[in-house]
Amino acid sequence: MAHLLLVDDDPEALEWLSEFAKAEGFTVSQADSLRAARIHMSRLQPDVLLTDLQLPDGKGVELVNDLETRDSTEVVLITGHASVESAVEALRLGASDYLVKPVDMERLKAILRRVPRTGELRAEIGELRDELRRLGRFGHILGSSAPMQKLYDQLGRVAPTSATVLLTGESGTGKELAAQTIHDMSRRKKSPFLPLNCGAVSPQLIESELFGHEKGSFTGADRQHKGYFERAHGGTLFLDEITEMPQELQVKLLRVLESGTFTRVGTTSPISADVRVLAATNRSPESAVSDGKLREDLYHRLNVFPISMPPLRERGTDIELLAEHFLDLLNKQESSAKKFAPATIAALYAHSWPGNVRELKNYVQRAFILADDIIDSNLAPTVVAQPDSAPLLSVRVGTTLDEVSRRLIEATLAECGSKRKAADMLGISLKTLYNRLAAYKNEDGEEEEQERHAA
Ligand SMILES: Nc1ncnc2c1ncn2[C@@H]1O[C@H](COP(=O)(O)OP(=O)(O)OP(=O)(O)O)[C@@H](O)[C@H]1O
Ligand SMILES: [Mg+2]
């Protein structure tokens, strides 16, 4: 039977938590201070250490240092409402999970049920990491450069916990791949992994996409609809382009993250959500906060465990490794044996890869089709530099950011003539571009409508 040490200075909390843990099949000892906890630990190493953060004689996390072997005890920390920083610190020090007060019974139950597995999972990941490191990959992520080794460490550490992760990095660096990997290496792997691109759903629909709606809750809602949160139950929700989420919805998302419950549009009864949230953005989240695109409170809540994906140009020999990998795949598919000329490899290193791994993958595909046997340097990647002749856009100080982005989007589109190219140049996804254009159309429609009424 697994043993749990419970540390809390609130006698009531000690009592109910202890009853709860016993009902889950643990033997339990209780301590009301760090000192008392240390005495217990010297007698019997617990399999689970469930501790309050604030104790009369110090912080619960300090107990991590008293564990004989870090790997065989799972540390779960209970933090007060506003202590995201301490939760981050706890995870950094090796806590495997944390709960926010008031402790939600369903969450605690979920944690206790999987806690005995976390140790195994961590050991498995550790082995996997060492093994894969030799091969220059981690799950489906390829690369053996130093920044990637650091990334694998972070992914391996955070995957088995339920921490929220904020993935940042330029377009095409593998944020979605990393999110999928975190899911695959967690105990949620058998439940769904659902990606939602917040920039691709119209602002009017995103709330009902996320939380679902009841029949008749708005025009067009002709039947009940389960949202992403419900469908991802037990699994992971990947909120891509989080800065594109409308502000009102960011408030609601924050509430869900803090309370673990949500309500369908058109209802008031809360539904509990056992969903791990991973979010990503290819903008700097700090500047998104200062531009008013990302709410600061949500940013702090998401940023419990930040991971930044290194750009390809800083990944040294990974460029060649990835290029050869993508070429191998194509050679296998087409039963061919095409090769890169040495000069082409050199050109790959010289290129700056603004579109990162996605650009490299597309490049290899294109070059593969165009080449006979050898991919010669005439097929080396070319820079699509911003032409000096591109027209200038002038804006008067005092113009709103929304207006500026609209004018820039329209001007870029007119210049490129292709939505794909315009999106690349603007550094946004094609879906986001479509979404914006649809919104502008709507706005114009409304204006015309008003004018017609006025006339
Ligand atoms: N390290 C890697 N190893 C192998 N494939 C990779 C790696 N990184 C990215 N890829 C591949 O590159 C493509 C782009 O990756 P992904 O969609 O995860 O990027 P992203 O950071 O989410 O981009 P965006 O910001 O544009 O959404 C995918 O096909 C992915 O499988
Ligand atoms: Mg992506």
Per residue in 138-158, pLDDT tens?
Answer: 888 999 899 998 999 899 888
Distance 235 CA to ligand 1 centre (A): 21
pLDDT the model gives residue 109: 86
Mean pLDDT of 3-8: 92
- Percent pLDDT > 90 in the chain is 43
Q: Residue 451 pLDDT more than 80?
A: no
- Percent pLDDT > 70 in the chain is 89
Distance 174 CA to ligand 2 centre (A): 7
Cross-strand partners of 237: 194, 277
CB distance 270 to 261 below 8 Å: yes
Between 293 and 430, name the one with better pLDDT: 293
Distance 43 CA to ligand 1 centre (A): 49
Residue among 257, 80, 270, 279 nearest 167 (CA)? 279
Q: Could you tell me the two tokens for 427?
A: 């550094």
CB distance 199 to 211 below 8 Å: no
User: Which pairs count as long-range contacts for 388-391, CB under 8 Å and 24+ apart, including other chains?
Assistant: 390/415, 391/415
Q: How far apart are CA 324 and CA 345, in angstroms?
A: 10
SS3 55: strand
Is 136 close to ligand 1, i.e. is its CB under 6 Å away? no
Is 142 close to ligand 1, i.e. is its CB under 6 Å away? yes
Is 176 close to ligand 1, i.e. is its CB under 6 Å away? yes
Q: How far apart are CA 429 and CA 432, in angstroms?
A: 5
Q: Which atom of ligand 1 is nearest to the CA of 177?
A: 18
Q: Residue 30 pLDDT more than 90?
A: yes
Distance 175 CA to ligand 1 centre (A): 6
The whole model's pTM is what? 0.66
Q: How far apart are CA 175 and CA 307, in angstroms?
A: 9
Q: Which ligand is nearest to the CA of 429?
A: 1
pLDDT the model gives residue 120: 65
Distance 427 CA to ligand 2 centre (A): 12
Identify the residue whose C-alpha is closest to ligand 1 atom 15: 174
- The per-residue pLDDT of the chain, averaged, comes to 86
Is 431 close to ligand 1, i.e. is its CB under 6 Å away? no
Q: Which of 98-102, 173-177, 204-208 has the highest mean pLDDT?
A: 173-177
Mean pLDDT of 287-312: 93
pLDDT the model gives residue 161: 84
Identify the residue whose C-alpha is closest to ligand 1 atom 8: 174
Identify the residue whose C-alpha is closest to ligand 1 atom 26: 171
DSSP, res 104: P
Cβ count within 10 A of residue 412 = 20
Is 180 close to ligand 1, i.e. is its CB under 6 Å away? no
